[in-house]
Structure 1
């Protein structure tokens, strides 16, 4: 084992974390209207009147809370406080419970739907914020949102979670998370982030009912979401878990590899931990089919049409850094460390904006920049890349104390 290589990796991502978060501090704060700008382009120019989304706000809250927990830098706590205050003042539905999907640039209600994906990220972020502040309101809101999700979204007949509800928690006809998604009652993506959120909540609130729910979610993945033959994730389902998609999302495969293992570890279920360690390696191996010769990870592949979406977006590369490093920790096989390092090298070479900061959204097959995409926006947040840096830093520190 080349410990010097790991030391360099950790130092580089620590520097990257500082640069990323400083970019968000410098360019995203909306001093005039509060919160954070809803859209910033590749030249760091904001669109002051762009709507502000729940996902952006909660991911800022999560990332800066997590970064403060590790680094204790006061500027990160300040950003986390700002995100929490804005979230609870403008996104919280005090009448119906839960959190609105989007608001105007001035903080007025724009879309009040209760997208379960968004509720999950709120729970995830509030739990992380509680870890650094012991803010009782944050804990109460996280627990309350969990209760609402279980009351309205949980399917007691077939298990799992339905996708989207109106402002007053009536099931919507249009369940899609975004325009590119299928209008189906259940999705892999929502379930992945629900179990991620619940696992984080359990670390601060070890409630027995919550533990049962996490176990049930892990069973959903084992029985319905992970393809037993290919070890890829199915993406969309009917309420009865009938598969309605033929697309492979490599970024989600590698993200799920380590997040599901982490969820099993959070509830200290030894049997599930053993199962999901094996699954983590299976998902990591399946992900390798999407790797480019230069270490980048392609976006999607349709198994029916044989069509590749040969774009390389920022977030699958960030998740590959963590997922492959996790596989290296599990197996001791340095081929996985190589893939993690290749992902990081790819990011540095092709996605990191060395002039204006942060990472580009992505590149095309010919390595040209994807046009008309945000540097920060409704979906482009510091969560994937910031968390990847934090995870690698923590894992290498642990690795140094407990060599494989």
Structure 2
């Protein structure tokens, strides 16, 4: 299909555009590492704290890109990210990694947020795959053991969201102000399984595999609603559901990521189960699609109020999630949805003036200019990964 061949070329081009933006704008030549924040007009804020998640996502992105499209600039970027993480992000006293750093690299918020640990494992394992750096694998395995020793709930299963610096209990476990203050969240579990599966690719350990299967089972038992096939986001320690919102981006991201994890561990039964769920979750997520191909952000469950914003990252996940559902089911409407999502991104999300992707647009397609282009949450992860994932999937098709 000529349309899919064109799609493949567009994905590669856009991936390279995103990476060039980060190569040009992200390095912090004042303090080392990368800038903590940059506004919509590409003006950096050198006084902003540096999120460890941002650093880990840069490490993963350029490590993955270098393996697909070898490039010395990408490799240099991975080394910069790795060196900075190793020097500043790890807590030598109590173990684990910090949540965020001051501009000079010193710990700013010493809490132990498990979400950040997952992304550091994700980035380190990808860096090892790209470079065979033994220290990277050693540190990734070290963090796996930390998570199992400190965060894994031996009574109820799953992983506790956050801790104090010394791994004592913390009252406020939230990732951000918009989240519910609950000890177990779908979001963190999704990124733990993603990280563990990526580690398994380079370290096929039996215990690690059993933990990935445990996480898949948790999604079936708790996180994936067995009636609506939307994702349940927040739970108490003993798995009491705390209803909040329907997150369309998390729906469609989960649809393809869990299947990817099952494929990585090579479990045929789990692959079949995740294929079936991927299609059902994609169908549920499609409720969040607007007629222009854009993906609404969230809907509150209490009053069914739709948050009429279209953020960059759900758009990125949509093109992969719907394409994945098409590959499994061969239902053409999924392919149309993936193509329509990409069209919306081209029309409204790619920043043709300043580069990269805007944070999002409102219901009238006005750019959300007060949000950062680079920041604590705005990283080259969702969009670069989507382009890379699509480029690789399309490369395996026969046109």
How many residue pairs align between the two structures? 399
Q: 1:327 aligns with which of 325, 328, 335?
A: 325
Deviation at 1:280, TM superposition (A): 0.3
What is the SS of the residue equivalent to 1:363?
A: strand
Task: State the secondary structure of the residue aligned to 1:248.
Answer: strand
Residue number in structure 2 paired with 1:40: 38
Which residue is 2:297 aligned to?
Answer: 299
Match of 2:165 among 141, 164, 167: 167
Q: Which runs of 5+ in 2 are unaligned?
A: none
Secondary structure of the residue aligned to 1:138 is helix
* Alpha-carbon shift at residue 85 of structure 1 (Å): 0.4
Question: 2:26 & 2:210 partners in 1: Cα distance?
Answer: 39
Residue number in structure 1 paired with 2:180? 182
2:107 & 2:234 partners in 1: Cα distance? 29
In the aligned structure 1, how far is the partner of 2:344 from the partner of 2:57?
A: 24
How far residue 55 of structure 1 moved from its aligned partner, in angstroms, is 0.7
2:134 pairs with one of 125, 133, 136: 136
Alpha-carbon separation, structure 2, partners of 1:305 and 1:221: 25
CA contact (8 A) 2:51 2:99 kept: yes
2:221 is the alignment partner of 1:198 = no
SS in 2 for 1:301: strand
User: What TM-score, normalized by structure 2, do the two folds share?
Assistant: 0.99
* Kept in 1: contact 2:243–2:301 (CA 8 A): no
2:211 aligned residue: 213
Q: In structure 1, what is the equivalent of residue 147 of structure 2?
A: 149
- Partners in 1 of 2:78 and 2:290 — Cα distance? 36
Aligned residues: CA RMSD: 0.8
TM-superposed deviation, 1:369? 1.4
Which residue is 1:275 aligned to?
Answer: 273
Task: Say which SS state the counterpart of residue 399 (structure 1) adopts.
Answer: coil
CA distance in 2, matches of 1:84, 1:63: 12
**1:222 maps onto 2:220 in alignment:** yes
CA distance in 2, matches of 1:134, 1:125: 13
Whether contact under 8 Å (2:40, 2:369) holds in the other structure is no
- Other-structure match for 1:373: 371
Q: In the alignment, what sits opposite 1:69?
A: 67
1:180 deviation in Å?
Answer: 0.7
Q: Output the TM-score relative to the length of structure 1.
A: 0.98
Aligned to 2:4: 6
Match of 2:110 among 112, 117, 120: 112
Return structure 1 stretches of 4+ with deviation > 3 angstroms.
none
For 2:246 and 2:173, the matched residues in 1 are separated by 20
Determine the structure 2 residue equivalent to 1:314.
312
1:356 aligns with 2:317: no
For residue 83 of structure 2, what is the aligned residue in structure 1?
85
Q: State the 1:246 CA deviation.
A: 3.2
The CA distance in 2 between the partners of 1:336 and 1:8, in whole Å, is 18
Deviation of the 1:303 alpha carbon: 2.4
